[in-house]
């Protein structure tokens, strides 16, 4: 922690918060929802120690970065623009980008517009954009929610209801959803609840902290940020799903051109439920330069925290391979 350097900068119309450590080639880390830069706390130090400049930033709407209230502020141009703007602010022409969930999807978007500014992509847990060419994400969510509780519908159909519920109990929500997304719980069981259930009621009651991968103090980092910012920014990422889906249709049959490394886990709910049948088999057609694919056992969607040492080691290996390939 002593070597973390916190910064706040005006980037792409936001006040963006990011944390930096180390010197060397740049590695940018992008989190998902409901996370923050702190999700990467273990990897920051490990990658910096291996000889890299590491920057972990808070996505727009989350953590200590500005949270625009307009849904349109979370479209592809804005979220991708945050990455390019961060590079410009850091004075770097290129970087390796690593991400999970929404942060990773923005990285995938950037690859189609600014591949020359990306040395490689390291993806965690989400092999590609979840994409149904025939139905928009929010249309699909409405259909699913007719049968059972579905968090995307809950977040987007009545966003004021979701915001009020989550803002009122940030600690309860974060503790429950972190546990539910981990390899210690089968997240899809949340969908056994009937339509109309609130997310807090659908989520399981977690065991007391500390867990092997999360302490009370570590949870407090997330709680304090979301208690300050509220959850509207994170919910707006969901509310803008149809905007991003419509924009991405132009790239449906185009392989991602950037060198790609993928790390996932045995019990990741996104791999199970959001990317269709056998998502790993699709990777060679989705990426023009697929380098490595690895699966870690006994972990879920909280991969970089649940298996911190293994994730850090794999990422350092990937970075070394990138350096050798550029030789």
Residues noted as catalytic: 101, 301
Number of other CB atoms surrounding residue 92 within 10 Å: 15
Tokens 């023009």 -> residue:
288
Burial category of 17 from C-beta neighbours within 10 Å (exposed 0-12, middle 13-18, buried 19 and up): buried
Tokens 């349109």 -> residue:
72
**Secondary element (H or E) of residue 67:** none
Tell me if 180 sits within 8 A of 214, measured CB to CB: no
- The residues, any chain, with a CB within 8 Å of residue 213's CB and separated by 6 or more, are 182, 302, 305, 306, 307, 308
Give dist(CA 253, CA 261) in Å, integer. Answer: 20
Tell me if 65 sits within 8 A of 14, measured CB to CB: yes
**Dmax over Cα atoms in the chain, in whole Å?**
56
- The residues, any chain, with a CB within 8 Å of residue 253's CB and separated by 6 or more, are none
């Amino acid at each position: 922690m002593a070597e973390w350097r916190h910064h706040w900068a005006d980037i792409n119309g936001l006040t963006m918060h990011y944390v930096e450590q180390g010197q060397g080639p740049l590695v940018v880390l992008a989190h998902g929802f409901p996370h923050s830069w702190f999700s990467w706390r273990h990897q920051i130090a490990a990658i910096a120690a291996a000889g890299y400049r590491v920057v972990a930033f808070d996505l727009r709407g989350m953590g200590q970065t500005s949270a625009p209230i307009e849904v349109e502020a979370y479209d592809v141009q804005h979220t991708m623009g945050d990455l390019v703007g961060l590079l410009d602010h850091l004075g770097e022409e290129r970087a390796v980008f690593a991400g999970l969930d929404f942060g990773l999807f923005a990285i995938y978007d950037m690859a189609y517009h600014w591949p020359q500014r990306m040395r490689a992509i390291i993806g965690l847990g989400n092999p590609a954009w979840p994409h149904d060419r025939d139905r928009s994400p929010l249309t699909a969510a409405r259909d699913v929610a007719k049968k059972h509780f579905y968090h995307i519908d809950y977040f987007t159909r009545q966003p004021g209801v979701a915001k009020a519920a989550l803002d009122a109990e940030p600690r309860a929500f974060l503790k429950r959803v972190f546990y539910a997304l981990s390899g210690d719980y089968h997240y899809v069981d949340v969908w056994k609840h009937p339509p109309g259930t609130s997310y807090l009621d659908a989520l399981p009651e977690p065991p007391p902290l500390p867990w092997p991968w999360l302490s009370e103090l570590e949870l407090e980092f997330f709680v304090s940020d979301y208690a300050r910012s509220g959850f509207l920014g994170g919910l707006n990422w969901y509310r803008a799903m149809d905007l991003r889906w419509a924009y991405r249709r132009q790239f449906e049959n185009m392989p991602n051109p950037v060198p790609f490394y993928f790390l996932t886990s045995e019990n990741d709910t996104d791999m199970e439920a959001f990317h269709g049948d056998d998502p790993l088999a699709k990777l060679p057609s989705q990426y023009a330069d697929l380098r490595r694919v690895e699966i870690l056992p006994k972990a879920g969607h909280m991969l970089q925290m649940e298996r911190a040492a293994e994730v850090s080691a794999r990422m350092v290996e990937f970075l070394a391979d990138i350096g050798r390939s550029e030789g």
